[in-house]
């Protein structure tokens, strides 16, 4: 089933790449947010959030991810600085390190969607680091 | 009559004399008294305590002479020192050794002499106690014995002085050694490095001030510690497996170890050296250890690692952007060649924005520089591109987004718009309000008539959709018949 996807990314060029991948998989991009305030507006409507760590308002990504996960949104981080997440953020799925290939991005989004649906066993691309919790 | 051979030479004798350090010293009551007793007891007008030097005789004490030294040639005592222990001459005019002596034949007309030897403990003659008279005379047994006694007393005085002098010298040496030791201790104590000493069992015997400061120990706490107590817990294993075997084998060892602070329990990074200390015959006395606090160096390394990490993160971000450009361009390219050219131009535009950011050391760049640099490859020095607006700082991502958008606009203008022929112009103007409201307009004029293009490529997407979010605003692209118009409205960060 199609999901509502929020892209939290302060580089519009990168956001556009993600948006393409989301839409190619048949999902709907409900928003692109470059800071915490904008991102949290989608707390109730997003099914999936793809979240960068460093945003316009600083390294607010981890906190956005935590709040989204607590609101039952499936959260995957996408960042060039995965070490900023330490061992992981509670209840979020994992992290993809940027840059990544288009195919890896598609696989990663597919993984989150499969996880969200709960109907099939999700398969993560090798580059995706799954948080242990 | 046989020949008597003396068993000392002048070098030895002179050395013995000089060892008393008495020559040319002032008069002293102790010796004056001896001369006075000699004169009175012998009823002689002249009495001398005489030290016979190699070229002169020095009178440590004298009665009836009035001088402190005379040359040797005319003296009686150089003869006396060749005798066993006493020389008595009742009448010099009748003694072949003295009958031609000027002091006898002329003034002052000396006649009688009696002298007892001053002998060092080794038996070396260094002088005499003697009396002289202007008249020929005999000396009684008691008088001769008295001279002997006085000679022994003079020697006792000389010995006493020599002993005192030697002890003074020893004391001086001891004091100087003490001072030297104190200075060494001061050096060790006040050195800025950590210096300590332990016995052969590893019990700490000494720590200098810097060491105690580094590990937070008071002076009276040092003696209860072992060398192990100074090593941070996490490095006990290295110490046990790496350091201890080396020093047991008699080698010294230097490692980067963390030391434990006794007060806070925190660990301090240090360059730690430990070495066996041995005495002259090679027996193990204990261990010396010297450490240097390398917190600052470690902090610097940490800082450098962070800077490198930050740089790596930025590079990856840039690579992600490049990758997005490549993949987006290829998706909409009409041919591989066209795609390849578009990619290389876009990456070049990105690189020029990056150059400005690098020159500005990272996070901000002036909008004037960003626009000039983005347009430089397209203007070709013809003056067909004009620009005007205030100088303001852009965030790194804004500089990057604007550069890419201007690049796309200029590329389109060169292909289809005002820069495609020989006549058209492009004007770029921007304003910034005090509140940070930002308007930038791109106005083409004088070029060929413009038709609305299909606009599905990455370039037009960039212009229409992507640049505006960088400025939290909106962008419009209009194809007026007289030329393309682009308008970007957004905001800049408040000036700090």
Domain that holds residue A71: 4-130
pLDDT in tens, A50-82: 999 988 888 999 999 999 999 999 999 999 888
| Residue A15 forms contact with B (CB below 8 Å) | yes
Short-list B226, B260, B228, CA closest to B243: B228
Kindly list the residues from chain B whose CB atom is less than 8 angstroms away from the CB atom of residue A77: none
Whether the bond into A59 is cis, omega within 30 of 0: no
In this prediction, residue A92 carries a pLDDT of 94
- Tell me: ipTM over 0.85: no
Q: Supply the pLDDT for residue B360.
A: 63
The list of chain A residues with pLDDT below 70 reads 133
User: Could you tell me the CATH number of the domain that includes residue A19?
Assistant: 3.40.50.2300
Same topology between domain B10-166 and domain B349-491: no
Is B294 in contact with B305 (CB distance < 8 Å)? no
Cβ <8 Å between B397 and A97? no
What pLDDT does B1 receive?
Answer: 45
**CB atoms B320 and A81 under 8 Å:** no
- How many structural domains comprise chain A? 1
CATH 3.30.450.20 fits B194-293, yes or no: yes
Q: Do B466 and A34 touch (CB under 8 A)?
A: no
Q: Which CATH architecture has domain B349-491?
A: 2-Layer Sandwich (3.30)
CATH superfamily of B10-166: GAF domain (3.30.450.40)
| Cβ contacts of B467 on chain A, cutoff 8 Å | 12
Which sequence spans correspond to the domains of chain B?
Answer: 10-166, 194-293, 349-491
- By the CB < 8 Å criterion, does B266 face chain A? no
Distance from C-alpha of B227 to C-alpha of B287, rounded to nearest angstrom: 9
Spatial separation of the C-alpha atoms in residues A65 and A72, rounded to whole Å = 11
Predicted local distance difference test score (pLDDT) of residue A44: 94
Q: Do A13 and B321 touch (CB under 8 A)?
A: yes
Q: Mean pLDDT in each 10-residue stretch from start to end of chain B (496 residues)?
A: 67 88 90 94 94 87 85 70 82 83 82 92 90 93 94 93 87 90 84 87 88 87 88 91 88 90 88 89 87 87 86 82 85 84 86 76 79 83 86 85 90 87 89 91 87 73 83 88 90 67
CA distance B331 to B329: 5
Contacts of B317 in chain A (CB under 8 A): 11, 80, 98
Specify the 3-state DSSP secondary structure of B410: helix
Q: What is the pLDDT of residue B496?
A: 44
Q: Would you say B343 and B356 are in contact if contact means Cβ atoms under 8 Å apart?
A: no
Indicate the burial class of B8 (C-beta count within 10 angstroms; 0-12, 13-18, 19 or more): middle
Q: Which of residues 59-118 of A touch B (CB under 8 A)?
A: 80-81, 83, 97-102
Q: Between chains, do A16 and B466 touch, taking CB under 8 Å as contact?
A: yes
- Closest residue to A80, CB basis, from B316, B397, B465: B316
């Amino acid at each position: 089933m199609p999901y509502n996807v929020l892209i939290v990314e302060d580089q519009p060029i990168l956001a556009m790449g993600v948006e393409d991948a989301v839409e190619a998989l048949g999902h709907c991009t409900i928003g692109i947010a470059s800071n915490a305030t904008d991102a949290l507006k989608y707390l109730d409507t997003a099914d999936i959030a793809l979240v960068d760590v460093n945003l316009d308002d600083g390294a607010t990504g981890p906190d956005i991810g935590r709040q989204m996960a607590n609101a039952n949104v499936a959260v995957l981080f996408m960042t060039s600085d995965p070490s900023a997440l330490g061992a992981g953020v509670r209840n979020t799925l994992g992290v993809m390190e940027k840059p990544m290939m288009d195919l890896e991005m598609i696989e990663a989004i597919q993984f989150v969607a499969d996880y969200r649906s709960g109907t099939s066993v999700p398969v993560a691309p090798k580059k995706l680091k799954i948080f242990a919790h | 009559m046989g020949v008597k051979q003396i068993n000392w030479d002048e070098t030895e004798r002179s050395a013995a004399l000089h060892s008393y350090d008495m020559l040319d010293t002032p008069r002293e009551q102790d010796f004056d008294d001896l001369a006075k007793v000699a004169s009175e007891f012998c009823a002689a007008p002249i009495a001398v305590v005489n030290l016979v030097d190699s070229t002169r005789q020095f009178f440590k004490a004298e009665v009836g002479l009035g001088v402190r030294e005379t040359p040797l040639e005319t003296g009686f005592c150089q003869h006396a020192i060749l005798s066993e222990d006493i020389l008595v001459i009742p009448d010099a005019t009748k003694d072949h050794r003295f009958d031609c002596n000027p002091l006898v034949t002329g003034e002052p007309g000396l006649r009688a002499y009696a002298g007892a030897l001053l002998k060092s403990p080794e038996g070396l003659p260094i002088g005499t106690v003697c009396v002289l008279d202007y008249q020929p005379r005999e000396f009684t047994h008691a008088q001769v014995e008295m001279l002997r006694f006085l000679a022994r007393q003079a020697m006792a005085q000389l010995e006493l002085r020599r002993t005192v002098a030697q002890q003074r010298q020893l004391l001086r040496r001891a004091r100087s050694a003490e001072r030297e030791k104190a200075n060494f201790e001061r050096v060790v104590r006040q050195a800025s490095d950590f210096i300590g000493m332990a016995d052969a069992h590893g019990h700490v015997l000494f720590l200098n001030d810097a060491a105690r400061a580094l590990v937070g120990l008071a002076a009276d706490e040092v003696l209860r510690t072992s060398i192990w107590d100074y090593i941070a817990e996490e490095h006990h294993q290295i110490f046990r497996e790496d350091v201890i075997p080396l020093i047991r084998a008699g080698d010294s060892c230097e490692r980067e170890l963390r030391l434990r602070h006794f007060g806070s329990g925190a660990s301090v990074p240090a360059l730690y050296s430990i070495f066996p200390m041995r005495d002259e015959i090679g027996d193990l006395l204990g261990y010396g250890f010297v450490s240097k606090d390398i917190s600052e160096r470690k902090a610097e390394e940490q800082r450098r690692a962070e800077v490198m990490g930050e740089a790596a993160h930025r590079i990856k971000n840039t690579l992600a952007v490049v990758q997005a450009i490549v993949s987006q361009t290829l998706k909409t390219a009409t041919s591989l060649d066209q795609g390849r050219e578009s990619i290389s131009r876009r990456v070049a535009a990105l690189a020029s924005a990056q150059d400005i950011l690098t020159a500005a050391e990272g996070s901000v760049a002036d909008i004037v520089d960003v626009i000039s640099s983005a347009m430089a490859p397209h203007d070709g020095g013809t003056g067909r591109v004009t620009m005007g607006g205030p100088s303001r700082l852009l965030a790194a991502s804004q500089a990057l987004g604007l550069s890419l958008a201007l690049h796309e606009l200029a590329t389109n203008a060169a292909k289809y718009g005002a820069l495609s022929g020989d006549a058209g112009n492009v004007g770029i103007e921007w304003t910034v309000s005090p509140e940070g409201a930002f308007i930038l307009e791109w106005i083409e004029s004088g070029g060929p008539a413009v038709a609305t293009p299909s606009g599905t490529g990455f370039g037009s997407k960039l212009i229409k959709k992507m640049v505006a979010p960088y400025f939290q605003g909106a962008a419009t692209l209009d194809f007026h018949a007289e030329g393309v118009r682009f308008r970007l409205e957004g905001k800049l960060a408040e000036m700090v």
